[in-house]
Amino acid sequence: MREFTEQEQVRRNKINDIKALGIDPFGHRFERTAYAMDIKEKYKDVDHDAFENMNDIVSVAGRIMFIRKMGKASFISIQDKTGKIQIYISINDVGEETYSLFKTADIGDIVGIKGKVMKTQTGEVTIKCLEYTHLVKALKPLPEKFHGLTDIEERYRRRYVDLIMNEESKAIAFTRPRIIRCIQNFMDNEGFTEVETPVLTTLLTGASASPFVTHHNTQDLDMYLRIALELPLKRLLVGGMEAVYEIGRVFRNEGMDPKHNPEFTLMEAYLAYSDLNGMMDLTERMFQTIAKNVFGKMTYNWCGDEINLEGPWKRVSMTDAIKEKTGIDFKQITDVNEALRLAGEHHIEVQEHEKTIGHIINLFFEQYVEETLIQPTFLYGHPVEISPLTKKNPLDPRFVDRFELFIGGKEFANAYTELNDPIDQLERFEEQLKERNLGNDEANDIDMDFIEALEYGMPPAGGIGYGIDRLCMLFTEQESIRDVILFPTMKPNDKK
């Protein structure tokens, strides 16, 4: 049986007082005509005395965040989605019965106010209440005003309370959709079509990641929640859609940390007749468009670094970046034993399935370069072994036409000149199976339907994937992914 605190029990008892007045404690529709911030902005420059000749009536609704009762007149503050506004309520204006109803109010209750806009002697825009409507009785008290939810885990777990108490959390919650809408408008203006592809799949393709497994009862079939969006979108290129993108949830059964959540939002885009360089240009324009149109600035403070999004962004090959940090030129190394010797000298652990020059190059990059790429940098020229879906570089087939965008030492995008040779693609899939047999649990499956699609002919294309959550972290200057996801994955709450 649930036990209630003294405050909670008092609030529950007030339900009967409200019912005794013939009012539903949990309310009905209320006609609102204005929002708090709009009213304050409209009247902020109107002199106090000018209100004497005005009779501007507004209706607002929101949650009570402050109450100062003073006998027959009181002040409250209510909060709607735009912010807070002060209300003056007097028994002389609303009558004794309504004022008695008001006296049952607690902080956290939701009310409707119809009244005249005025300004106090201190210059605060206020609504003089003429009609008071009880809407919802809050049965639990809000956290103490100045501390809110101080337990960070509880902030994420009880996001609804965090949004009530924390203006920054609410601002981020409203900013993220504006970022996504800006991206959609940008992509639409670039000639792309937004599409939707299946979340459930029978094959692991499009990325190297551990999946979530589910089961289709009717077909008695184990299925995966998708780990990427890639192959269905490229099928659409074969079908002639030519420029497509999707913003959608993907699921990777991996660890959680300030930069990773098991389910996250990914955007992938594919453009026929483009290539690696086209994706670089598209990416730089997109980030700068968000910066200008949503935030009106080009510089952001993120994870202790000042990031400048002004172009042109740096472009450097993986081998050149490693050479710059270590003096080793992997373009000149063709013997895997030599690469293994260098890894040993630099105390880099190489797993059995990583005993190729390409994998060792990637291990060197992760150890010596990745965290040093602070300003926006397009890192290109990845080894073929770690890029199973990418077209080989025509000048050096050991490497592929791929880039990753790094900002603040973190990956923000992954792009390819897309592999459209079905013979080469099948060989890459087969190599992935060999790696799986050597212990790489994240190796891709063979998707024979995709091979067949390529056999019908896919145009040369550029493709890219963006982590939308991390992009939102940068633009809202947040260090944890949990601050830009409304409901991050959490361990079960064991508190009673």
Using a 10 angstrom Cβ sphere, with 0-12 exposed, 13-18 middle and 19 or more buried, the burial of residue 136 is middle
Q: In angstroms, rounded to a whole number, what is the distance separating the alpha carbons of residues 390 and 401?
A: 7
Q: From the CB of residue 10, how many other CB atoms can be counted at a distance below 10 Å?
A: 12
Query: How confident is the model over 214-238, as a mean pLDDT?
Result: 96
pLDDT over 70 for what percent of the chain? 98
Q: pLDDT tens, 304-316? A: 999 999 989 999 9
Residue 329: HSE in the Cβ half-sphere, 13 Å Cα cutoff: 2
The three-state secondary structure class of 396 is: coil
Q: In angstroms, rounded to a whole number, what is the distance separating the alpha carbons of residues 9 and 400?
A: 67
Could you tell me the pTM of the whole model? Answer: 0.91
The sign one gets for the Cα dihedral 60, 64, 67, 70 is positive
Q: What is the mean pLDDT of the chain?
A: 93
Query: What per-residue confidence (pLDDT) applies to 12?
Result: 96
Confidence of residue 146 (pLDDT cuts 50, 70, 90): very low
Using a 10 angstrom Cβ sphere, with 0-12 exposed, 13-18 middle and 19 or more buried, the burial of residue 199 is middle
Domain segments of the chain as ranges: 6-142, 165-313+375-483
Query: What per-residue confidence (pLDDT) applies to 215?
Result: 96
Query: What per-residue confidence (pLDDT) applies to 70?
Result: 85
Query: What per-residue confidence (pLDDT) applies to 496?
Result: 45
CATH topology of domain 165-313+375-483: BirA Bifunctional Protein; domain 2 (3.30.930)
Indicate the angle between helix axes 422-437 and 448-455, nearest 10 degrees: 160
411 has pLDDT over 80:
yes
491 has pLDDT over 90:
no
Query: What per-residue confidence (pLDDT) applies to 446?
Result: 87
CATH topology of domain 6-142: OB fold (Dihydrolipoamide Acetyltransferase, E2P) (2.40.50)
Query: What per-residue confidence (pLDDT) applies to 400?
Result: 93
Higher pLDDT, 454 or 491: 454
